[in-house]
Structure 1
């Protein structure tokens, strides 16, 4: 399985596209983390990822996570309310694979890509990545006070 973890860079070069906010998802910046699933041709991996994530809606809500599924140019919100999103623009901005290839991306509240996977990721792995982020740690601390 291929995973690219972009979180944790010691120096952020804002001219590098890996650290530039994703323009097509700007409506979520500073409010939500976004997990984008690009469906594969037979939808098997995308459906597995979708079912796994939606099995723990409380954890998604606690982490302010929006889940979107893109099939072709269409965008279907799986966990959130989202209107007017352009699947082609999101695919272009995330430099995703061709239509019909599975990929999933985690976009942080700052609007930048934190994780890219080419196989479904477990909820435990995804939530551990989110929970290790400084902003999530601050949110948890505020909630405990």
Structure 2
């Protein structure tokens, strides 16, 4: 079974091979009003914060899918990484994690990996998420 988190990460990787985000385009536009996005940024693939965030998310896949949460990584100096960092005003030389709501706005930002419990609590407190939960129980 395919998981939304893996599919989103694969889609981002494929977008990089196809040219990725063009100058002036919002790299998060494809997710607007459909998904929440956790953008994880690190200077390189071996960044300890990046590794810790990946590990934390690996144990929370079901909760992420239930909350329409996908993860995009801005790692290294690719065009896509630079575009995501520019969009969210993130440094290229340090770890950052940013939760972006379905409306495209940053809801939570951290210089440390964000535990899934904190991500989910933040999402579950959002008015749109509360509406979604009510609709699912009807």
Aligned residues: 113
Tell me which stretches of 4 or more aligned residues in structure 1 moved more than 3 Å: none
Partner Cα separation in structure 2 for residue 127 and residue 142 of structure 1: 18
2:131 match: 138
- Matched residues in 2 for 1:128 and 1:90: separation? 24
Greater relative contact order (Cα < 8 A, sep 6+): 1
TM-score, normalising length from structure 2?
0.76
CA distance in 2, matches of 1:86, 1:26: 13
How far does residue 40 in structure 1 lie from its aligned partner after superposition?
4.4
Give me the whole-angstrom Cα distance separating, in 1, the residues matched to 2:129 and 2:95.
27
- Where do 5+ consecutive residues of structure 2 fail to align? 1-24
- Aligned CA-pair RMSD: 1.7
- Indicate whether 1:61 and 2:65 are aligned: yes
TM-score in terms of structure 1 length: 0.73
Higher normalized helix content (fraction of residues): 2
Distance 1:66 1:105 in 2: 12
